[in-house]
Structure 1
Amino acid sequence: MTAADDALRAAMSRLLAGEPLRTDGALTKKNLYLEAEVSRATMNRSTVVMKEWDIEVARALGEDPDAKKPVTEESKLRRKLRQANKTIRELRETIDGAASLIALLSEENRYLRDREAKRPDARLSDLEEFRAREPR
């Protein structure tokens, strides 16, 4: 048992008793780590204390601590929305990459057409010189 575990347990006792020292007293994990004066990461590393917290809060709210929370329609929709947003981000990145490639190929194509119009005997090796020069 660490000092952080002790601080979290003391904070848990105060919050459950309705006697907070540093917070508004709501039974939230944020209030727990603020009340204990530890970081959120430290609180999350105290897995045993966090399990105790979940059980005690469920009891305080009159819920069965062993019962699984039902999957609601809202949670299903939120999960779908997160997945859709992830897909949108991935597609935007793909589109951005494709747009960059199209712009590069268009510039190279313009260069080659201009080069051919000026010098019909131009070679593809001239394109390497074009690519090597500094961008405008």
Structure 2
Amino acid sequence: MSPAPDERDRIRAAMERILSGHPEHSNGALTIVALAAEAGVPRNALTQRHPDLKNQFYDKVRVRGQTPDSEKRLRQQVRRLKELRAADAEEIARLKADVEALVGALHQSTVENRVLRQQQAHGGSVVRMLPTQPRIGPGQ
């Protein structure tokens, strides 16, 4: 499908309406999706056929000291991912410490088990029965 002959003009007019704060056919967001809706063209018209107009739109947004909505969303996502990465790093550090403690406990248990088996094999251990408490139950 070939583009309409006035497509570039419609995009430029839509760009001006959005940047002036008077959108007629979109929500006025500073995004390519809103620009395409405002111009009445498919989004790929801006990303594939007219990338120069897409870049011009974002340049005008930045010149006004504003940040495009898509960039704001990406920055927010980067912040969120950095927070998750930091939380993961803390959890990994805790898990490593737990593993070290568990390995130490396993090693100690293995050594104690070996000593007890050696004592049992040599017959040097004596098992003594401890006195038990008399059972106290209901009705006694």
Looking at CA atoms only, which structure, 1 or 2, has the larger radius of gyration?
Answer: 2
TM-score above 0.5:
no
TM category, shorter: 0.3 to 0.5
The TM-score, its normalising length taken from structure 1, stands at 0.44
TM-score normalized by the length of structure 2: 0.43
